[in-house]
Structure 1
Amino acid sequence: MSAGGSGRFARLRQTLLGRRYWQRYRFTRHNEVELLRSGDEFFDALIGRIDAAEHDVALETYIFCDDDAGQAVSGALLRAAARGVRVRVITDGVGTARLKMFEQWPAGGIEHRIYNPHLFGRFGFSRTHRKLAVIDDQFAFCGGINIVDDYENNGEKLPYRRWDFALELRGPVVADVRYAIDVQWRRIHVGHRPLESMKPDLSPHDAYSLGSLRRRRRRRNEALWAAGEPCVAFVARDNLINRRAIEKAYLAAIGQARHEILLANPYFMPGRKLRRALVFAARRGVVVKLIIGRKEFRALDYAVPFLYNALLRAGVQIAEYEKTLLHGKVAVVDSNWGTVGSSNLDALSLMLNNEANAVLVNDPAIARLRDAILDAFADARPIDEAHYESRPARVRALSWIAYTSYRVAMKLLTVGGYD
């Protein structure tokens, strides 16, 4: 290997051994958190921060639509670029169409990269499903809200705005969000191969150092949580190192639950570990309330109820939300742990897609999130166990077929990873 190649090797190894990349997630204190409900609050906050930006704006989203919301955000990005601010945008190659407005961006100074432009590209089947933004390294946004009109869904008008959330973050956690976007920006340019080629070459000493670092980080996280101080962690899921980071964050919180678990998700098709964790929690006396989204994908409307049987028998309370489109991916445990992000609880989000959630512990914003989930549960249709058991044979058969088909498809896409 040449001297230059050896130097690049050493620098990349140091990157891999760096504090943020190898950790699954870290909690930090002294952050400020604002819970934003729906696009109304989110777009006002995001556009306001972009309009005040002085140095740098980075945005990553699964969907960017050419509608009123998209045009408003695009206008703010163009204004920032015209002031000399560096503006970078990442969109997904399947989630976002090739929009006319994108043609204006290069001339207006906006840098734009597309993650995995084709259905099966160099990143396989994975999508970037994250909804992130960082402005001037001072403000970060993380949540489930795409750049799309709150009252539109696939050309249809919604009766009420989407049920969804985002967080505006200030403080040390912003650096972790910025790092994740920067890694994604470079990844789109160079692909996975340089990073993957490094993994087999790590020495036993390196592996020991990484294990020790993770153990120290885990102990520090647990100490912060136990101390009762407000803290925040940014949890990003990818297909290199942090493959199960978000799932493990959920499992850790559910496993420690003592009183209450509130969970809302539009696509509830988790693997066995997460389902068992909810069942065990309910059996040990924890109140578990699960809100399921409906009427976006018909196949899932048939497949998801197949999972209700074991949950209902354990005492989990399930309700299906049909008032409007439930798009929020949120949870609260024991009123002192909460998460808001982009990750659905299904195979695509937990095993394939790039996702990002923020985890809050002992933060005042958790109380508002808890109230919102409980209000939605009251507005949703409860699933009665007796009524569920009396479903016609035809409905049961359709549910089994839909679930089995989903399971087989996900097994293939995840190369057996989905359980």
Structure 2
Amino acid sequence: MSARGARRLARLGAALVSKRRAWRLAFTAGNEVRLFSSGADYFATLIRHIDDAQLSVTLETYIFCDDEAGRPVSDALVRAARRGVQVRVITDGLGTGRLALFDEWVAAGVEHRIYNAGWLGVFGRFGLSRTHRKLALVDARVAFCGGINIVDDFAATNGPLAHPRWDFAVGLTGPVVERIGAALDTQWRRLALGHRPYTQAVSRALTLRERASSTGAAAPSRHSGHASEQALKAPSVAFIARDNFVNRRAIEKAYLVAIGRARHEILLANPYFVPGRKLRRALVAAARRGVEVRLLIGRNEFAALDHAVPHLYRLFLTAGAKIAEYEKTMLHGKVAVVDSNWATVGSSNLDALSLVLNNEANVVLIEHPEIDPLREAILDAFAQARAIDPAIYAARPWGKRLTNWLAYAAYRAVMKVLTVGAYD
């Protein structure tokens, strides 16, 4: 082989190694974590920190409602801007409609940018992707991440809920906050391009910046990388920001690693449970090797998914997994606990849109005290949910089976188109 060919091969090998490492989590110790299990508690704490802010506030959310929950948050943002704090808000072009609050923000000095505000709020500069993230950062000191939108706990499309929605977020202080701040800053800079050409050079610069900030690839430590997660003993936290520029499969891979290492128990709760082939196989393999797998599925939000998701039950039930459908209220939490020492809280559903198309953000906890209350919350909800009996499921009438299959096949077909074949 020529010297030139050897150099090309070396560069290719380095690129492949870099690509493989890019998604790996950068765990840090010394973080404080507080678990929120309702919007009411979360909003009260968020408002308190915004009112105490001295330098900056950044908030990114899919939904911001002008309701009993959203108005007080908006008022706090306005108060902060008027006293000289830099306030930046990112909302999604589809998730949040045109609000009168926007004018109030501009008048008060709140900087507001809309993600993918395109034709009918659907197709914009970033194609069909949405920002589904729920993040907040105050004074680069305290951050929040989870599944809770800025919306009242009892709000629903079909009228008020009888019970507050089942959802979670975490408040964070410590080294992990820097990662969240860098991800928010990258998003803000990306949206700052406005109508200017989104050139390849700018895209590459932002990609490199995000890779360094949200994966830790540019700042490795003893808590960084795939292998180090297994060796972690002290409570540690990692932040994952999924997008379509880098870390495209980061959240899915974090789940796959945890499920693959599970030895005793996997508790998984998700409202839109339509995982791809790799996640399905990982869960089935875990159940078959004796791990207790419990899947808590949300219902009664989208009729199409209510018909499609049960088509997958046979696969998991025959492997020995337990499934329950939660109908007490809207299950909106996207959480999981593995072996009582690994957990994730975030915005990512386990479906094609979240895992392949949308901007998402999750936090992973290792050996952290807040894992126990999250585990108990999942187990409590599972006990209140309707368990799927394998015998009754197997005896479904043929019409029901056909409906489930058709709904699932239609879902897969649509997602294949929307994700340009990336959903498997």
Q: TM-score, normalised by structure 2?
A: 0.89
C-alpha distance in structure 2 between counterparts of 1:155 and 1:102, whole Å: 26
Using the TM superposition, give the Cα deviation of residue 226 of structure 1 relative to its aligned residue in structure 2, in angstroms: 1.9
Alignment of 1:165-204 (within 5 A): 165-190=168-193, 193-194=199-200, 198=204
SS at match of 2:273: coil
1:153-195 per-residue CA deviation (whole Å, 9 max, x = no partner) reads 1251101000000000000000000111111111112275445
Query: Which of 137, 141, 144 in structure 1 is aligned with 2:140?
Result: 137
Q: Percent identity?
A: 63
Query: Which of 410, 416, 419 in structure 2 is aligned with 1:405?
Result: 410
Contact 1:225 1:231 survives alignment (8 Å): no
C-alpha distance in structure 1 between counterparts of 2:238 and 2:108, whole Å: 35
Mark the CA change 1:283 to 1:90 in structure 2 (over 3 Å): closer, same or farther. same
List runs of 5+ in structure 2 lacking aligned partners. 1-17, 209-214
C-alpha distance in structure 2 between counterparts of 1:394 and 1:224, whole Å: 47
Using the TM superposition, give the Cα deviation of residue 213 of structure 1 relative to its aligned residue in structure 2, in angstroms: 6.2
C-alpha distance in structure 2 between counterparts of 1:406 and 1:220, whole Å: 35
**What one-letter code is carried by the residue in structure 1 that aligns with 2:412?**
R
Mark the CA change 1:214 to 1:248 in structure 2 (over 3 Å): closer, same or farther. farther
Alignment of 1:308-323 (within 5 A): 308-323=313-328
2:153 is the counterpart of 1:150:
yes
C-alpha distance in structure 1 between counterparts of 2:204 and 2:141, whole Å: 32
SS at match of 1:168: strand
C-alpha distance in structure 1 between counterparts of 2:225 and 2:69, whole Å: 41
Aligned to 2:270: 265
**What one-letter code is carried by the residue in structure 2 that aligns with 1:107?**
A
Mark the CA change 1:123 to 1:54 in structure 2 (over 3 Å): closer, same or farther. same
1:128-160 per-residue CA deviation (whole Å, 9 max, x = no partner) reads 000000000110000000000001112511010
Contact 2:89 2:111 survives alignment (8 Å): yes
Mark the CA change 1:287 to 1:107 in structure 2 (over 3 Å): closer, same or farther. same
Aligned to 1:128: 131
Aligned to 2:41: 41
C-alpha distance in structure 1 between counterparts of 2:317 and 2:363, whole Å: 29
Aligned to 1:304: 309
Mark the CA change 1:106 to 1:405 in structure 2 (over 3 Å): closer, same or farther. same
Q: Relative to structure 2, which stretch is displaced further, 32-41 or 221-230?
A: 221-230
C-alpha distance in structure 1 between counterparts of 2:138 and 2:221, whole Å: 30
Alignment of 1:82-93 (within 5 A): 82-93=82-93
**What one-letter code is carried by the residue in structure 1 that aligns with 2:135?**
L
C-alpha distance in structure 2 between counterparts of 1:348 and 1:295, whole Å: 19
Over aligned residues, Cα RMSD in angstroms?
2.2
Aligned to 1:81: 81
* Number of equivalences: 392
Aligned to 1:351: 356
2:165 is the counterpart of 1:162:
yes
2:235 is the counterpart of 1:230:
yes
Q: Relative to structure 2, which stretch is displaced further, 297-306 or 40-49?
A: 40-49
Using the TM superposition, give the Cα deviation of residue 392 of structure 1 relative to its aligned residue in structure 2, in angstroms: 1.2
1:223-282 per-residue CA deviation (whole Å, 9 max, x = no partner) reads 354241100000010001110000000000000000000000000001010010000000
C-alpha distance in structure 2 between counterparts of 1:245 and 1:38, whole Å: 27
2:36 is the counterpart of 1:25:
no
Contact 1:26 1:217 survives alignment (8 Å): no
Using the TM superposition, give the Cα deviation of residue 84 of structure 1 relative to its aligned residue in structure 2, in angstroms: 0.6
**What one-letter code is carried by the residue in structure 1 that aligns with 2:255?**
Y
**What one-letter code is carried by the residue in structure 2 that aligns with 1:307?**
L
Aligned to 1:206: none
C-alpha distance in structure 1 between counterparts of 2:202 and 2:256, whole Å: 27
1:336-384 per-residue CA deviation (whole Å, 9 max, x = no partner) reads 0000000000000000000000000000000010000000000000001
Q: TM-score, normalised by structure 1?
A: 0.90
C-alpha distance in structure 1 between counterparts of 2:337 and 2:176, whole Å: 20
Aligned to 1:72: 72
1:193-239 per-residue CA deviation (whole Å, 9 max, x = no partner) reads 4457649xx9xxxxxxx999699888655335424110000001000
C-alpha distance in structure 2 between counterparts of 1:225 and 1:357, whole Å: 19
**What one-letter code is carried by the residue in structure 2 that aligns with 1:373?**
I
**What one-letter code is carried by the residue in structure 1 that aligns with 2:111?**
E
Mark the CA change 1:195 to 1:335 in structure 2 (over 3 Å): closer, same or farther. farther
1:390-411 per-residue CA deviation (whole Å, 9 max, x = no partner) reads 1111111111111001101111
**What one-letter code is carried by the residue in structure 2 that aligns with 1:157?**
P
Q: Relative to structure 2, which stretch is displaced further, 39-48 or 315-324?
A: 39-48
Contact 1:24 1:235 survives alignment (8 Å): no
2:108 is the counterpart of 1:108:
yes
